[in-house]
Amino acid sequence: MSELKLMKGNEALAEAAIRAGVDAYFGYPITPQTELIEYLMSQKTEERTGMVCLQAESEIAAINMVYGAASTGKKVFTSSSSPGVSLKQEGISYIAGAELPAVIVNVVRGGPGLGTIQPSQADYFQSVKGGGHGDYKLYVLAPSSVQEMSDFVEDAFDIAFKYNAPVLILSDGLIGQMMEKVELKPQQKRRTDAEVIAQCGSWATTGKTKDRERNIITSLDLQSEKMEARVHRLLKKYEQMEKEDLRFEKINCDDAEYLIVAYGSSARIAQKAVEIARSKGVKVGLLRPITLFPFPKKQLFDLADQVKGILSVELNAGQMVEDVKLSTEFKVPVEHFGRTGGIIHTPEEILEALEQKIINNGSIRHHKTRESSIL
Amino acid sequence: MEVLDIIKPENQVFCKTKLMTNAALSYCPGCGHGTAHNLTMEVIDEMGIAEDTIGVAPVGCSVLAYDFMNIDMTQAAHGRAPAVATAIARTWPEKYVFTYQGDGDLAAIGTAETIHACNRGENIVIIFVNNGIYGMTGGQMAPTTLPGMKSTTSPFGRDVKTMGSPIKMTELVAQLPGTYYVTRQSVHTHKNVRKAKKAIKKAFENIKLKKGISFVEIVSNCNSGWKMTPNDANKWMEDNMFPYYPLGDIKVNGKLK
Ligand SMILES: Cc1ncc(C[n+]2csc(CCOP(=O)(O)OP(=O)(O)O)c2C)c(N)n1
Ligand code: SF4
Ligand SMILES: [Mg+2]
C-alpha cells in the first residue's frame, strides 16, 4: 500500500530506497545530506528488509564499497554532498568503466572548496561532463520536489540495471532539506541471492560455478584496441539513453515568446516566475530538464525557432547555460541568471533578469526610455 | 621402466595448480607474486570453496591476478580493495572473500581502507605481498622501503629523516580488536612455501568462524625493482628485509603472541 507522509527530501529518498528493495547503502556524513544516512541508520534496515547500511571511513571508501557490492549484482547506492562527491570521482569513473549498475546521490552545496552548506547547483559541470577521469558520462536525474526524491530512486535503479551504468541523482540542499507531502510506494521484496544470480550471473562476481567461465569485473584494458572498444560500448549506451530515456517537462511552452530553462530547485522558483509573468501578459514558458544527461537538446533546438530569447536559471555562476547555447546553436540570445554562495533567487529576481537580459536586450539600445516592467 | 609408467597419477608429486588458468604469468622470473598466487589457489581448491570464493585484485603488479586465478574476481582501484571486499562480504555473508594487495596499495594509498576494514573486523582474508617497493610503476619508494634502500624516487637511499621510516602495517593492524589472525610469511624457499600455505589455509578457514579479519603478509622480492638477480634478491631479502620484518605469527585466534 502506498502511504502519504510529510518528510524531508533526504528522508524520503532513504525511505524510498528501503521500500525499493535496495540491498546496500554505504555513506559518510556531510551537510546537507546527513539526514539520509541518519534516517537509514534509524530504520534498522537489516531487520526491516535485510538491507546492509554501513557508515564508511570516507567517501572514497564508500564509493569503493558501492563498486564492490555492484560488482556482485546487488542494488547499492551512496549519497554525499559536493566535497564528498568530488572524493568519489575516481570510484565513479571505475564504476562507469567496469560497467556496473549503481546509484549515487549528490545533495549539492555551494563551492568551490569547503564552500557553504547552503543549497547550490554548482556541481552541474561535474555531474554531466563526466566528473572523474576518462570518456564516460552519468545518467543524471534532477529531482525538484520531495516526491521526486522518492520516485527517482526506483527510476535510477531501473536505468542503472538497464544499461549497467552509474546513475546520479543530482539534488541540492533545498530539495534535500525541505519538508513536503510525499506518497511513498509500497514495500518491495529484496531479490534473493538466487534471483540476483539469475538476473546478473552472466557478468557479476558471485562465485564461479562449474557451469560457467569465471566472471571478471575490471575497467583495465592494456590493449588499446580493447580499450577503444570499451569506450565505444559506453558511447552506444549514451546514445541509447538519449533516444530512449530522455526526460523533461514543458510548462507553458506552446505559445511562449520567451523561455526559461531551469532544473531542480531553480525550476520550482522559475515556475513561479512564469506564473507572475503570465499574469502580467508576458508569454514566458519553462523547460525543465528532468535528466541533465541526456539533455533535451532537440526540444531546445526546436523552441529556439519559436521564442525570442532564453534565460538559463541556475544556482551557480553559469554552467547549464553552455549546454543551452550548444543545443540552440546560437539561433536566439541565450543568457544566464543565477545566484551563488547558497543564496536562492526569488521569482522577482528571475523576472528582472529576464527583462534586462532577454526582453530588453538589443532593443534597449534603441529605446533607452522604454519602461516595461513585468515585475 | 617407460616414461609413461613414471608419470602415473599416483607417482605425481607436483602439478600445475588446478585453479590457475593457462595464461602465462606476467611476473618477472623469480618474483614471489606467482608463488603467492599458486598457494592461494591451492588452498581454495583443496578446501573445495572455489564456487563460493570472490577475489579482489589490487592495482600493482598483481592487477592482472584475475588473468591467472580461475575464480570470480573484481579489480579494485588503487588501495581500495579492503573497501570493495567489505561490501562483497557484507552483502554475501556466506562467501569467502579475499583481497590480494601489494605494499604500495595496502600501506600507502590504501592505509585508511586497510586500517578500517581491519578495525571493523570484516570477515575477509587480506593477502599482503610486501616487496618494499612499487614494482609495477618501475621501482619507486614504497612506505615499506627499508632505510637507506635505493629506489627511483629515493636514488640516494631512503632517508628516514625526510622520508619517514618503513611502516610495519602488519604489527599495526595486529593491535586492532577486529583482526583475528595476523601473520608474516615468505615464499622464497620450500620450507617457507609450506609454512605460508598453512597460514593462508588457516586464514581462509577462519572465514567460517566469522571472528574477524585474517591478515597474511608475505615478505617478497622484486628483483626488477631492486635491480638484482632473483638469487641475489632472495639473499638480500633474508639479510635485510627479514630483520626488519620478522617472519612468524603475530596474532593467533584473536590473541597477540
Ligand atoms: C590512484 C592511483 N595512483 C597511482 C597509480 C599508479 N600506480 C600503479 S601501481 C602503483 C604501485 C604499486 O605498488 P605495490 O602496491 O607495492 O605493488 P607491486 O607492484 O610492488 O606488487 C602505483 C603507484 C594508480 N594506478 N592509481
Ligand atoms: S616488477 Fe617486481 S613485483 Fe613486479 S613482477 Fe617484476 S619482480 Fe615481481
Ligand atoms: Mg610492492
B13: in domain: no
Q: Tell which A residues from 200 to 239 touch B, by Cβ distance under 8 Å.
A: 205-210, 214-220
Least confident of A142-156, A272-286, B5-19, B79-93: B5-19
The CATH number of the domain holding residue B60 is: 3.40.50.970
Full residue range of the structural domain in which residue A309 is found:
248-372
Ligand 2 in reach of B131 Cβ (< 6 A): yes
Which tens digits make up the pLDDT trace of A299-351? 999 999 999 999 999 999 999 999 999 999 999 999 999 999 999 999 999 99
pLDDT given for residue A238 in this prediction: 98
Query: What are the Cα distances from residue A234, in Å, to A64, A106, A200, A240?
Result: 21, 23, 19, 10
Side chain identity at A288, as an amino acid letter? R
Ligand 1 in reach of B114 Cβ (< 6 A): no
Could you tell me if A188 and A331 lie in one domain?
no
What is the share, in percent, of chain A residues with pLDDT greater than 90? 95
Residue A289 is given by DSSP the state E
pLDDT given for residue B234 in this prediction: 98
Which tens digits make up the pLDDT trace of A166-224? 999 999 999 999 999 999 999 999 999 999 999 999 999 999 999 999 999 999 999 99
Contact B160, B61 (CB under 8 A): no
* Ligand 2 atom 6, closest CA: B28
Ligand 2 in reach of B224 Cβ (< 6 A): yes
Could you tell me if A176 and A265 lie in one domain?
no
Contact B203, B214 (CB under 8 A): yes
A197 touches chain B (CB under 8 A): no
pLDDT given for residue B193 in this prediction: 97
Contacts B52 to A, Cβ<8 Å: 207
* Ligand 1 atom 24, closest CA: B78
* Distance (Å) from CA B103 to ligand 3 centroid: 5
All three cell numbers of A260, joined, read: 526559461
Overall domain count for chain A: 2
Q: CB A64 to CB B83 under 8 A?
A: yes
Q: Which atom of ligand 1 is nearest to the CA of B106?
A: 15
Task: Of B115, B65, B49, give the one whose Cα is nearest residue B86.
Answer: B115
* Distance (Å) from CA B62 to ligand 1 centroid: 10
Query: Given ligand 2 and candidates B25, B31, B105, which is best to mutate, with the most ligand atoms within 8 Å of its CB?
Result: B31
Residue A1 has pLDDT above 80, yes or no: no
pLDDT given for residue B13 in this prediction: 76
* Distance (Å) from CA B135 to ligand 2 centroid: 5
All three cell numbers of A258, joined, read: 520567451
A74 touches chain B (CB under 8 A): yes
pLDDT in tens, chain B (257 residues): 777 777 777 777 778 899 999 999 999 999 999 999 999 999 999 999 999 999 999 999 999 999 999 999 999 999 999 999 999 999 999 999 999 999 999 999 999 999 999 999 999 999 999 999 999 999 999 999 999 999 999 999 999 999 999 999 999 999 999 999 999 999 999 999 999 999 999 999 999 999 999 999 999 999 999 999 999 999 999 999 999 999 999 999 999 99
Residue A375 has pLDDT above 70, yes or no: no
A334: in domain: yes
The CATH number of the domain holding residue A14 is: 3.40.50.970
Contact A102, A129 (CB under 8 A): no
Rounded Cα gap, residues B117 and B126, in angstroms? 10
A67 touches chain B (CB under 8 A): yes
Give the distance from residue B234's alpha carbon to the nearest chain A alpha carbon, in angstroms: 30
A213: in domain: no
Contact A133, A93 (CB under 8 A): yes
Q: Out of A198, A229, A261, pick the residue that ends a domain.
A: A198
Could you tell me if A156 and A293 lie in one domain?
no
Mean per-residue pLDDT of chain A: 96
A242: in domain: no
Cell 522558483, located at residue = A269
Residue A137 has pLDDT above 60, yes or no: yes
A15: in domain: yes
Could you tell me if A182 and A270 lie in one domain?
no
Q: CB B91 to CB A60 under 8 A?
A: no
B14: in domain: no
pLDDT given for residue B252 in this prediction: 98
Top-confidence residue, A129 or A372: A129
Residue A368 has pLDDT above 70, yes or no: no
Could you tell me if A252 and A194 lie in one domain?
no
B16: in domain: no
Rounded Cα gap, residues A188 and B2, in angstroms? 67
The interface predicted TM-score (ipTM) is 0.96
Q: CB A68 to CB B113 under 8 A?
A: no
Top-confidence residue, A120 or B13: A120
* Distance (Å) from CA A262 to ligand 2 centroid: 54
B10: in domain: no
A217: in domain: no
B4: in domain: no
A183: in domain: yes
Ligand 2 in reach of B31 Cβ (< 6 A): yes
Full residue range of the structural domain in which residue B151 is found:
29-256
A332: in domain: yes
Contacts A94 to B, Cβ<8 Å: 77
Side chain identity at A235, as an amino acid letter? L
Q: CB A69 to CB B90 under 8 A?
A: yes
Give the distance from residue B69's alpha carbon to the nearest chain A alpha carbon, in angstroms: 9
B12: in domain: no
Contacts B108 to A, Cβ<8 Å: none
* Ligand 1 atom 2, closest CA: B78
Overall domain count for chain B: 1
Could you tell me if A58 and A117 lie in one domain?
yes
B3: in domain: no
Ligand 1 in reach of B36 Cβ (< 6 A): no
Chain B residue with the nearest C-alpha to that of A91:
B77
CB-side neighbour CA atoms (13 Å) of B61: 30
Mutant choice from B72, B96, B100, B113 vs A, greatest count of A C-beta within 10 A: B72
Task: Of B57, B53, B55, give the one whose Cα is nearest residue B96.
Answer: B53
The CATH number of the domain holding residue A366 is: 3.40.50.920
Cell 559536493, located at residue = A82
pLDDT given for residue B69 in this prediction: 98
Which tens digits make up the pLDDT trace of A3-42? 999 999 999 999 999 999 999 999 999 999 999 999 999 9
Terminus-to-terminus CA distance in chain A, angstroms?
A: 45
Could you tell me if A171 and A90 lie in one domain?
yes
Report every protein residue that has its C-beta within 5 angstroms of ion ligand 3: B 102-103, 131, 135
Contact A261, A248 (CB under 8 A): no
Cell 585453479, located at residue = B19
Q: CB A217 to CB B73 under 8 A?
A: yes
Rounded to a whole number of angstroms, the CA Rg of chain B reads 18
Residue A163 pLDDT level (bands cut at 50, 70, 90): very high
A96 touches chain B (CB under 8 A): no
Contact B134, B192 (CB under 8 A): no
A239: in domain: no
